[in-house]
Structure 1
């Protein structure tokens, strides 16, 4: 028999040998076409040639021959083509200053694969071997798209340029119905930028990072002019203050009237009033995560300020351009007893 399906061969053997077959077409490939020569052969020899060689096993039960798929033994490992995967990694920075960007987005266009940069501006994304268009984005910066052929591990670092937006006038209509309200994904988390912090005044006009947090709902001071604070009824020792992941146990001077943190050195502040991540364990009320500046990797610079009680001076610049930098920030009291 030539170019016949297994079902046709089984039907022929059933009629010729007066035997009955039982099988499930969903489990047994009976529609597969084969050729077989069965001259002067027993039914058992024919079945072994037709079934065994095509992944079908059989056994006799009373007056029927039962067909089922062959089981693969532990010693017979099927050849499975492993999907090759490679990793893309790098750092995301500001092109003008060289500052790292925390929380920048990286994703492969047209897929559901993506990641964000960590607290050090580093990202890592593992994808199967293929051709992709990687999209790099961050709020306030121009998006960048980079095509890649992913056939090996690659290192791709991106420097973002500040975006320039031309905004049209905004018209507010009081009787317009709003269909939906957008809420923050985590209402207990707040981010404060240096620009915003500089606009909030502290004690006698001095810029104060800790005192500025008291503008957030739920954070209250111990008294007028004090940098000590409590969150939602807790105590001051139930707040965790971190500077570049290092705990700060005494963040103030002069009984809490002045903060010990130099404001010019701050790059980013995240305040958690509750539901903070597990890696910030050890406190009950809040977590204040402060990140300091890395220093300008492009050029040297300095800045300073003079206040009624304190003076600030900051130096920064590259040690090796686009590779490493230094940042020095100091503050001194104008009164010897302060």
Structure 2
């Protein structure tokens, strides 16, 4: 009897092995005619059916040992059919390019590109990001050409959107939220953006009215997806500003894939073009890796890791800035002693798992850890001289200061240390309800922030032999006419130690629906977010706070001959305070700072048309924001200092326009224009301009090539912004000073000779191993415009006046760039 049982077990074992061995797998990536991934396509093989993901990737199990017909279909493309016959356990790679159906009309709402169109998302092609020149080339460089996105600092990757500040923008990589360093105060110190351009497959950007699934910020969402390799390839970029190397690896059975990038950057070329002479020794480097594993046809795992180290060593030597008028030229001369040493070490790791339970249900699990150690040490003595310039051309001292109107000195000191650990755990669900043309999405997230911060920072200013007291101390001071009896204190003195912990719970749920209204197509999204947090460890225990944020979007595509989509979106948006928003002017954490609240309304029109028999699109948007519990702030370069008291209300309104298309056949270019107005009211004192009240914006991104020499290509990146408030002293009452900086005008041009790429072939033997090879020249600040980021305020004893001397950014600079793809 036992022998029978043994034989039965053995038979069942071999039978099960035989059953499993009859399976094979087909995987690949679906692309359209423009090499863009196709998401949401249906892949069917006998009884099995799967869908391609956002990267166009699919994996399907089929029977082995017989011919199987695989059907690939999508409502926006022609159906494709492939017949394969595979061996047991064989993995077969099938990459298919789908062509659009010529007879298809108006399928905007249901296609992948149409989904982003009705959601108001701007899609940026990675190829455009790689090629367009800029002092900080990358994703952020392209964003600054879009309407509603503002920046007046080419050395910084930070940007403001529709009246918000740098801290109000969400950034995701592979659905994982990424963070920026805390102590950065100058664009020169930022080094590298987190996003590695060479690893990017998709970039989506929304400037407002975004869905509930995105986090709790007030202004914008930048959603970046890294590509998943399908074969081995390598890339190398090198220039006078640094370089990068990227490698794609894939296992033979296609289960494992990895993409790794290493970058290095040195800003000396740009810093040396500024007025301040210095010894600048920066070192900005990072390494990123993405590892993906297909455990089965239903389960996928991935890991994203990043190690970044920025060492910013700066030793200013001297500076001379000429200003004034032709009849009365004045110069500011400064001689420096001392140096600044800043270091930032960032470690980031995230694990993501996607489980496709069935065709209609998907689960995602995401865990991430962000650890940053930052130090900011400097002791710099600046001795200045304000005087008249010798304008006599034949003089030996022509251009020098020959008569002093004022002298003084400034000593700044800092010993700032910060250690922050942020841990996230998140689960997301996606349900497809095909019979009702709708989807349900939900998510829940836990975040713990552990921050240790020590601030020791002071500044002493001597003007014409008199020490300037702290402007916050309200004691009359009319030196030298009467003695000053106030306390002897530095002009600025910030000392604080903050060891705090913040626990956050957040979640969302939303519903998507597509259907018809008569002959018209409609798309609806409705959802809500909730966020609870509490600050502990501060001098006073923070109370538990909860906010609730309902949001909705509606899109209508009329049954017209013209291809138009109308959108209306909005809702209630909250931004629970992050660590920087909790820290007041004195560096002390205020644990009960409320979440800033904003009501968004965005109305837009998307018009696709053909001009010169080429595709074009005009997007027009009007928006309004009403903000309460506003946490007011000041901006010095890129450093934001909050008052942490929720003492204001504010509003923003404006309009954005963007026309993009093939102005030159085969290339994408765009023109953008924006207008906004934003004001705040602090403690009912009346409305004044906010620090981000940058009224007009014009951006141009243009690509061209020579018809007779197609190898020679040209790229132009042009931005014009009207001046920001911020020309007044940092200590000034904003209600008494509403000075503005100069208009920001900048054009960066690039010229590239392409020896070989996907469209240009070459018979040269040395190029046969390369897929792409190009050499280029870039010119930053083509027209050599003088753009100022802040003003330095100096007193003139002779005229009893105070001058605001602009702190200019970079001048015209040349760069050489090499791009190689294997």
RCO higher in 1 or 2 (8 Å CA, sep ≥ 6)?
A: 1
User: TM-score when scaled to structure 1?
Assistant: 0.50
Structure index of larger Rg: 1
Q: Judging by fraction of residues, say which structure has more helix.
A: 1
TM (norm. structure 2) is: 0.22
Which protein is richer in strand relative to its size?
2
